[in-house]
Amino acid sequence: MTTQPNELEAIAGGNAVRTTDGSILDPDGIEDYIAGLTDEQTAAFLAYCDDNGYEHADLTDDEKVDVMVNCFDAETIDMREYFDDPLDVNYTCDREKKYMGVDICVAFGGPGIWVNTNDRKVLGAWGCDRVEICFSLQACEAIDEVFEDFFNL
């Protein structure tokens, strides 16, 4: 599993789907997916939009998700499902053992990828190369909500 901040943002916003090939798409990714449909898939897409009163040239984000789920067998995904099998989890707590944040290892060995809610960053490393990419407070809070529940079990 590789983690990208746009995936975290889409999942936190409730507008992400996992396609049958395992890709996670946000609403922009869904547009790209729809643009690359085969003729048969395009016909099914247009028919679904017409049957449901959608203006296929100007779908809202919610309509894009609905089309992906009902027309292309994608599934919606939430933060708990996204982080269903982390490789490692390091919790940060205060001296009263209150949850403060989490570091989640989602890949290692090349590249190593950690999602850190304390700093709101996805951290990647491959050999001597390092990268840090920030993500939104909304995504951070959605991740913390999931892992704070685990922490308090």
SS3 at position 15: coil
* Order of all β-strands in the sheet with 112-116: 88-93, 99-107, 112-116, 121-126, 129-134
* φ/ψ of residue 109, rounded to 5: 95, -15
Per-residue pLDDT of the chain (153 residues; tens, 9 = 90+): 455 556 787 787 777 888 888 888 887 788 888 888 889 888 888 898 889 888 877 888 888 888 888 888 888 888 888 888 899 999 999 999 999 999 999 888 878 999 999 999 999 999 889 999 988 888 899 999 999 998 988
**pTM score:** 0.74
Length of the chain as a residue count: 153
Q: What CA–CA distances, in Å, run from 8 to 15, 84, 86, 117, 141?
A: 10, 14, 15, 12, 11
